[in-house]
Amino acid sequence: METTFIVLAVVVFLALAFDFINGFHDTANAIAMSVSTRALKPRTAILLAAGMNFLGAITFTGVAKTIGGSIADPTKLDNGIEIVIATLIAAIIWNLATWWFGIPSSSSHAMIGALAGAVFVGAGADSVNWEGFLEIVEALIFSPLIAFVVGYIIMMVLKWTLGRRSPHTVNKGFRSMQILTAALQSFAHGTNDAQKAMGIMTFALISADQWSSLEPPLWVKLAAATAMALGTSVGGWKIIKTLGTKIFKIEPMNGFAADVSSASVIFTATLLHLPISTTHAATSSILGVGAAKRFRAVKWGMAGRIVVAWFITIPIVAVMSGLIFKLLF
């Protein structure tokens, strides 16, 4: 029994480390627009994002239940805790690597791919719920396409309605409105991304017969929300620079359109209990807005490198987690 609690403590530590890293890795997506357009000072944006992430994280649990039960049934795994440890180590390594190089890759892809790979190697192909896995992957694939279209449409509407007004006046108004959209984006991020650490901790607790429901315990909710908020407070300047300057020149109206687009897609996914990538939603919204503003102004080469990172994340992290499981257990 004592050994079980020690191993569970390791799982909780790794899960909270993942959430902390997710905070400064992915939350940069939520404030990149407002910081890049100087609607908010960096410190203010980070504090706002941290608070709204915490509120979003403790408000919803549907995504956590999906993570905890859709890829594999934790009650049927004899080595569920070991699988979770391999999953978290692989996901953390990938997140740190992509953060270091300033690539806005997906923590969601990393978690999903790592869990599937660890279950496949640790418990066999029959233990993977392929239907649930593919449903999540579909959401991960279609959400950025939807975010691109929504961003394009919103930006086109703004161009048609405000195109003849003074750019200075328009941008001044939207710069103020970006404070609200940054808060909305951060809240939406918390409702989806923080749930992933909650789900994986609940998965481990059920595997160890320490919990019986996919609904995360209160302490898990609070711990995950706090870890993400603390991670957010560290900031993610490499990602902010990529999203805010290396895709196209962002102005307040563009930032407003991108934030509203991605937040609406993320929040819709949360209500449907689907874990999607906030990175995908944010980046695709920016691409959609940029394409509507001026197609040639978008630096599609940088966008292409980001998309490549999206597609390779799941297979690479799945192999990593499988190898880590083999090496450790």
What is the distance between the terminal CA atoms of the chain, rounded to a whole angstrom?
Answer: 19
Token digits for 170? 């328009």
Please tell me the least confidently modeled range out of 242-246, 248-252, 277-281.
242-246
Residue 165, φ and ψ in degrees, nearest 5: -85, 165
How is the chain split into domains, by residue range? Answer: 2-328
Q: What is the mean pLDDT of residues 135-147?
A: 90
- Residue 11 is predicted with a pLDDT of 93
Better-scored residue on pLDDT, 27 or 36: 36
- How far apart CA 81 and CA 228 sit, in angstroms, is 22
Three-state secondary structure of 96-137: HHHHHCCCCCCHHHHHHHHHHHHHHHHHCHHHCCHHHHHHHH
Residue 297: CB atoms within 10 A of its CB come to 11
- Residue 125 is predicted with a pLDDT of 94
Contacts of 262 (CB under 8 A, 6+ apart): 29, 147, 151, 185, 188, 278, 281, 282, 284, 285
Q: What is the mean pLDDT of residues 158-179?
A: 85
pLDDT in tens, 249-273: 678 898 899 999 999 999 999 999 9
Q: What is the pTM of this model?
A: 0.87
Residue 216, φ and ψ in degrees, nearest 5: -65, 145
